[in-house]
Amino acid sequence: MLYGGPVRVYELSMLRSFRMRAGLSQQELADAVSASRTTVSRLELGRAIPSVTLALALARSLGVTVEELFAPDLC
């Protein structure tokens, strides 16, 4: 059944939390990984899925693994 709310591609993203811990703005992180600020925002809001290349670049820039950024907590 369709509804009028925004569609979330995935539920859990730690991207915003790790970005803020690193003291980076969305623009600074975007510049570090050659992406747009809008892309970072959409990823943080769960409205986009990163490419493998982008996910790896984000993880490396933040000093974490891809799983730490994007894997749901299965515990």
5 band by pLDDT with thresholds 50, 70 and 90? low
Asked whether the predicted pLDDT for residue 8 surpasses 60, the reply is: no
CATH topology of domain 15-63: 434 Repressor (Amino-terminal Domain) (1.10.260)
Summarize pLDDT for 26-74 with one digit per residue, the tens: 999 999 999 999 999 999 998 999 999 999 999 999 999 998 888 766 5
For the whole model, what pTM was predicted? 0.80
Cα angle: 48, vertex 54, 60; to 5 degrees: 125
> What SS3 state is found at 33?
coil
Task: Name the residue with higher pLDDT: 72 or 11.
Answer: 72
